[in-house]
């Protein structure tokens, strides 16, 4: 009988001589990161640092919930620090993950146990019977205070949803230019971040016109800044919704994750999870949103209600690291006939969407 092999990250891993599968070797950057974390964890635990669970907004449908959270080792006064009104971006990245610890998830009266990964994350789907609308799941472990994570359960009758980019779509960041990105992420006070004019009003009008419509926020940003982004969205009156972010730092097989690949995989996952929902995809023309949305619209035409692109001004395009886009028609046909709309702000997009009977 031929020896079995396993596939990890696209590479076949032969079994060991004893018949057990070999454990794939981590990328050098990941091994260095793990060693640094282990060094600091031993010392910080001796100084009284404790485990804290950071809950993210979850989502699901009747019968299941996607649970997302992170377990970190922090100062005993971490909760008090989180209540401070002014938070510098760099503080979000001075965290230490609690690796491979067990967390209990209570959802719909059912308890599940799951483990964090090497970055302290939990991203898992559990069985749960929760009614449509907003609810909570409880996250607990012996060494930490339990927390409740908000969860949005989509009604099976919902047929329309909004999926929005964040950077330069709802919040002005000039992300692609490295120096400005570093300043906005690590230094700038969260209260100094500017909202894109009219976008919050646009989203509120859309969810009012489509009762029960969910709003998802998709970004290549790191989960480290999820609390900051949540506060920003709430302060500027954006509808509440799950953040779909990515990890920061080395992966098991490369130095850094691909932001574009993260967006592509997330869109494909939402199409599988909610096959009857048609999404209004909202982004900007300063990065790769148009390219990614075109690919998704071509592959999943039945899941796209339209594409709304916020046009950057010539000055914003330069700051964003791209050339000013040529003048376009305000609305046009995209792949396989989807409707595309383009305007410089939320008010302009609202007018176009209203004329196209999408509101």
Contacts of residue 47, defined as CB under 8 A and 6 or more positions apart, other chains included, come to none
The pairing of beta strand 215-222 with beta strand 160-165: parallel
Q: What pLDDT score does 287 carry? A: 73
Q: Which residue has the higher pLDDT, 93 or 60?
A: 60
Neighbouring C-alpha atoms within 13 Å toward the C-beta of 172: 17
Confidence bin at 57 (pLDDT 50/70/90): very high
What pLDDT score was predicted for residue 336? 44
Compare 3 and 126 and report the one with higher pLDDT: 126
Q: Look at 92-101, 128-137, 164-173, 220-229 and tell me which has the smallest mean pLDDT.
A: 92-101
Using the predicted structure, report yes or no on whether residue 56 has a pLDDT greater than 70.
yes
Instruction: Decide: residue 294, CB within 10 A, 0-12 exposed, 13-18 middle, 19+ buried.
Output: middle
Lowest mean per-residue pLDDT among 112-116, 140-144, 298-302: 140-144
Q: What is the pLDDT of residue 257?
A: 61
Domain ranges for the chain, please list them. Answer: 28-41+48-153, 160-355
Q: Are 153 and 130 a contacting pair, CB within 8 Å?
A: yes
**Res 141: pLDDT:** 95
Question: Which band of pLDDT confidence, cut at 50, 70 and 90, is reported for residue 8?
Answer: very low
Q: Which residues pair with 167 in a beta bridge?
A: 171
Looking at residue 271, its pLDDT comes to 98
Using the predicted structure, report yes or no on whether residue 89 has a pLDDT greater than 80.
no
Could you tell me the pLDDT band of residue 4, with boundaries at 50, 70 and 90? very low
Q: DSSP state, 184? A: I
Q: Report in angstroms the alpha-carbon separations of 139 from 58, 70, 128, 162, 359.
A: 12, 10, 14, 28, 37
pLDDT of residue 74: 75
Tokens of 24: 């794939």
Q: Can you give the pLDDT at residue 81?
A: 47
Mean local confidence (pLDDT), 184-208 = 82
Report CA-CA distances (Å) from 53 to 26, 78, 135, 166, 237. 26, 11, 18, 24, 26
Superfamily of domain 160-355: HAD superfamily/HAD-like (3.40.50.1000)
Q: Give the tens place of pLDDT for each residue, 227-273.
A: 888 999 999 999 999 999 987 665 554 555 667 899 999 999 999 99
Per-chain mean pLDDT for the chain: 79
Query: Confidence class of residue 23 from pLDDT cuts 50, 70 and 90?
Result: very low
Backbone φ, ψ for residue 131 (5° rounding) = -70, 155
Q: What is the pLDDT of residues 274-326, one digit of tens each?
A: 999 999 999 998 878 999 999 999 999 999 999 999 998 655 555 555 544 54
Q: Is 346 exposed, middle or buried (0-12, 13-18, 19+ CB in 10 A)?
A: buried
Those residues with Cβ within 8 angstroms of residue 173's Cβ, 6 or more apart along the chain or in another chain: 166, 167, 180, 181, 184, 193
Q: Is the pLDDT of residue 14 over 50?
A: no
Phi, psi (degrees; rounded to nearest 5) at 337: 85, 0
Right CATH for 28-41+48-153 from 1.10.405, 2.60.40, 3.90.25, 3.40.1350: 2.60.40
Give, in order, the Cα–Cα distances in Å from 14 to each of 6, 25, 180, 247, 254.
7, 13, 46, 29, 21
Q: Which range has the worst mean pLDDT, 8-22, 87-101, 130-144, 187-201?
A: 8-22
């Amino acid at each position: 009988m031929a020896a079995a092999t396993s596939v990890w990250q696209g590479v076949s891993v032969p079994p060991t001589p004893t018949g057990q599968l070999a454990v794939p070797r981590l990328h050098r950057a990941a091994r260095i990161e793990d060693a640094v974390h282990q060094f600091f964890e031993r010392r910080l635990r001796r100084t009284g640092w404790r485990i804290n669970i950071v809950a993210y907004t979850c989502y699901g449908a009747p019968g299941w919930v996607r649970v997302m959270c992170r377990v970190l080792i922090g100062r005993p006064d971490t909760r008090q620090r989180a209540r401070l009104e002014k938070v510098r971006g760099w503080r979000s990245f001075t965290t230490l993950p609690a690796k491979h610890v067990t967390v209990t998830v209570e959802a719909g009266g059912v308890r599940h146990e799951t483990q964090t990964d090497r970055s302290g994350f939990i991203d898992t789907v559990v069985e749960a019977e929760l009614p449509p609308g907003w609810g909570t799941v409880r996250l607990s472990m012996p060494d930490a205070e339990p927390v409740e994570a908000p969860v949005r359960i989509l009604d099976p009758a919902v047929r329309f949803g909004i999926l929005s980019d964040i950077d330069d779509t709802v919040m002005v960041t000039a992300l692609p230019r490295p120096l400005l990105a570093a300043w906005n992420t690590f230094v700038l006070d969260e209260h100094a971040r500017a909202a894109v004019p009219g976008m919050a009003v646009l989203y509120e009008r859309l969810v009012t016109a489509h009762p029960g419509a969910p709003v998802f926020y998709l970004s290549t940003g790191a989960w480290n800044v999820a609390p900051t982004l949540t506060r920003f969205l709430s302060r500027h009156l954006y509808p509440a919704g799950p953040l779909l972010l990515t990890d920061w730092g080395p992966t098991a097989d490369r130095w850094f994750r691909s932001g574009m690949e993260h967006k592509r995989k997330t869109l494909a996952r939402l199409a599988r999870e909610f096959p009857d929902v048609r999404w209004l995809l909202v982004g900007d023309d300063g990065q790769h949103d148009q390219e990614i949305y075109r690919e998704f619209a071509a592959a999943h035409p039945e899941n796209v209600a339209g594409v709304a692109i916020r046009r950057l001004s010539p000055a914003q395009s330069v700051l964003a690291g791209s050339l000013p886009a040529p003048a376009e028609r305000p609305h046009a046909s995209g792949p396989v006939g989807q409707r595309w709309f383009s305007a410089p702000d939320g008010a302009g997009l609202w007018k176009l969407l209203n004329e196209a009977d999408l509101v």
